[in-house]
């Protein structure tokens, strides 16, 4: 069964600190993996997207990594800001399938 699992479910960090969010998936055959940021009351917004051949991609202070062999991805946030408080959702698509598989997200709270 195609699944995406994220950890931790929630996380609180102090402003300025770094953090890493994890995503494990069983989606096959793999097409791409993306990370979304969802602010409270808003729709998800794409941060990064990686295909099978890519193992790292950055978007400002956000860096995503992908290990297609172990089917794991991580999202590293550097020098966190209050505006980073949001849910971060890992999404995987499979080749030949007409839908995306969503994780349940990690809720991040950056505290002053």
Which residues make up the interface to another protein (CB under 8 A)? 4, 31-32, 34, 41-46, 49, 89, 93-94, 97-105
Helix, strand, coil content of the chain in percent (nearest 5): 5, 60, 40
Q: Are 34 and 54 in contact (CB under 8 A)?
A: no
- Closest contact distance (angstroms) between CB of 74 and another protein is 18
CB nearer another protein, residue 70 or residue 98: 98
Distance of CA 52 to the CA centre of its chain: 16
CB nearer another protein, residue 44 or residue 65: 44
CB nearer another protein, residue 44 or residue 77: 44
The DSSP annotation for 70-109 comes to TTEEEEEE-S--GGG-EEEEEEEEETT-SSEEE---EEEE
- Closest contact distance (angstroms) between CB of 93 and another protein is 4
- Closest contact distance (angstroms) between CB of 31 and another protein is 6
């Amino acid at each position: 069964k195609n699944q995406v699992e994220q950890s931790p479910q929630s996380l609180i960090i102090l402003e300025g600190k770094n953090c890493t969010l994890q995503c494990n998936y069983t989606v096959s055959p793999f097409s791409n993996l993306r990370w979304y940021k969802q602010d409270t009351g808003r729709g998800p917004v794409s941060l990064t997207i990686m295909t099978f051949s890519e193992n790292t991609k950055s978007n400002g202070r956000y860096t995503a990594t992908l290990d297609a062999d172990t089917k794991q991805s991580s999202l590293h946030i550097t020098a966190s800001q209050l505006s980073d408080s949001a849910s971060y959702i890992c999404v995987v698509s499979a080749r030949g399938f007409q839908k995306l598989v969503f994780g349940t997200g990690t809720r991040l709270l950056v505290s002053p």
